[in-house]
Amino acid sequence: MRAYVLLVASIAALGGLLFGYDTGVISGAILFISKQFALDNRLQAFTISVVLIGCIGGSAVSGSVADRIGRRPTLFGAGVIFLLGALLSALAGNEAILLCGRFVVGLGIGLSSVVAPLYISEVAPAPVRGALVSLYQFAITIGILAAYIVDYLLAGDGQWRWMLGLAVIPSLILMGGMIRMPESPRYLFKVGRDLLAREELQRIYEDESASGREEASILESLKVRRGGLAALLSPSIRPALVIGVALAVLQQVTGINSVIYYGPRIFEMAGVGSAAASILAQSLVGAVNCGMTLVAIFFVDRIGRKPLLYAGLTGMFVALTVMAYAFSQPHLSGSLGTIALVSMMVYVGCFAFSFGPILWLLISEIFPLPVRGAGMSVSTLANWVGNFAVSQSFLGMVERLGSPATFGTYAVLCIVTIVFVRTMVPETKQELLEEVHVGGA
């Protein structure tokens, strides 16, 4: 891997760091926000999930924006939006202004969640594309872990404004970094700037033959395929759309963001005493999330996408089943906190090396270049809709069905996902981006 390519991917991955920080930080901040603004469970859930409404809006327009103005300017714009949202949230004088700030943050997350992995996949050489796109997920986990650590350090004084406001720092770094980054060579070919695109390909690859083969593949794909949202419904593209949307929804309904958003609440339910102790336990889970993502970075281009998905989803199923059983046994009450912590660490660790990074990787690979922006936008929109549904329903499911049934439902959906991956999802390891075929695509 050339240092230049790694630098470009790392700067773009800062969008993932902001994604992770802004989604993770609310799990600790909400404990203090709810007291200051006297929020009941319904308003707590909405304060957490309003950011997801912004994510839905941002992801819905991101593909068309990235296709119109380019990948690099769109990521820069996401940084500006992150900055504004962080400032508005931190300075909020009441719940309404806080909700506005979190909504603006969501717009930035929605944009970056589509364009950052799209941009990385389009500048990455095929042999290391999996590792580089997984770097985006790694940045998400770093952001989540940083959020948990910040929450813990500031929990003693309940400084939720600083928790939310510190997102200003990576926002500024993303904006400054993207000013100097190149545009995706695939986008440049798409808009007819062939000379500049060719120069960028030669900077990405070490030898001329490899860049020449990539160029030929890109130009061939642009000859035969039309773009736009309408093209996604054509018979040749529809299988990719079905896979992208289904995987995006399944990633959410297997429960990951109930742990990310409500981890401290789960630990409180399991008998962990103070808010600070719950946040510390959540920080341990975040450290596992971050560390295990390295497994994907190192092995996704060696072992392949599907074997990692099988292993991770199986581990998630086991961990969720143990959690469901533990919460159903009154005689485990003294040990429930430990069981919950270990199970959540196993669950998050298995997600981190499989479904977490591989979703973003697959949806950046399976769509042809003319519809890649639109396809990723629709798939990511489905992901955020699923995220919103899980965040809104988790506390209600616990109240109505109980914790065992809630975690058991997530476990069953892990099995559903394994079956779907086995029957529908292609292996894309080592293939040139334009040579990935899904159904008739």
CA 93 to chain centre: 30
pLDDT tens digits for range 122-178: 998 888 999 999 999 999 989 988 988 898 888 878 889 999 999 999 999 999 999
Q: Once rounded to an integer, what is the mean pLDDT over residues 9-29?
A: 89
Alpha-carbon radius of gyration of the chain: 21
Q: What is the mean pLDDT of residues 5-9?
A: 91
Q: What pLDDT digit, counting tens, does each position of 83-125 carry?
A: 999 999 999 988 899 999 999 999 999 999 999 999 999 998 8
For the cut 50, the answer to whether the pLDDT of residue 203 exceeds it is yes
Determine the residue type at 395.
Answer: L
- Going 124 to 434 to 225 to 421, the CA torsion angle's sign is negative
Residue 440 has pLDDT above 60, yes or no: no
Lowest-confidence pick of 100-114, 133-147, 251-265, 412-426: 251-265
Tell me which of 13-27, 321-335, 417-431 is least confident.
321-335
pTM of the model: 0.83
Say how many residues make up the chain.
441
pLDDT for residue 61: 92
Question: Which tokens sit at 69?
Answer: 């103005």
CB atoms within 10 A of CB 422: 11
Report which of 246, 249, 215, 238 is spatially closest to residue 374, judged by C-alpha positions: 238
Percentage, residues of the chain above pLDDT 90: 49
Q: Is the model's pLDDT at 1 over the cut of 60?
A: no
Q: What is the 3-state secondary structure (H, E, C) of the chain?
A: CCHHHHHHHHHHHHHHHHHHHHHHCHHHHHHHHHHHCCCCHHHHHHHHHHHHHHHHHHHHHHHHHHHHHCHHHHHHHHHHHHHHHHHHHHCCCCHHHHHHHHHHHHHHHHHHHHHHHHHHHHHCCHHHHHHHHHHHHHHHHHHHHHHHHHHHHHHCCCCHHHHHHCCHHHHHHHHHHHHHCCCCHHHHHHCCCHHHHHHHHHHHCCCHHHHHHHHHHHHHHHHHCCCCCHHHHCCCCHHHHHHHHHHHHHHHHCCHHHHHHHHHHHHHHCCCCCHHHHHHHHHHHHHHHHHHHHHHHHHCCCCCHHHHHHHHHHHHHHHHHHHHHHHCCHHHCCCHHHHHHHHHHHHHHHHHCCHHHHHHHHHHHCCCHHHHHHHHHHHHHHHHHHHHHHHHHHHHHHHHHCHHHHHHHHHHHHHHHHHHHHHHCCCCCCCCHHHCCCCCC
- In angstroms, the CA 361 to CA 357 distance is 6
Provide the mean pLDDT of the chain: 87
Is the per-residue pLDDT at 81 higher than 90?
yes
Instruction: Check whether 201 has a pLDDT greater than 90.
Output: no
User: Domain 3-181+225-435 is of which CATH architecture?
Assistant: Up-down Bundle (1.20)
Question: What number of other Cβ atoms are within 10 A of residue 139's Cβ?
Answer: 26
Q: Is the dihedral of CA 44, 293, 429, 9 positive or negative?
A: positive
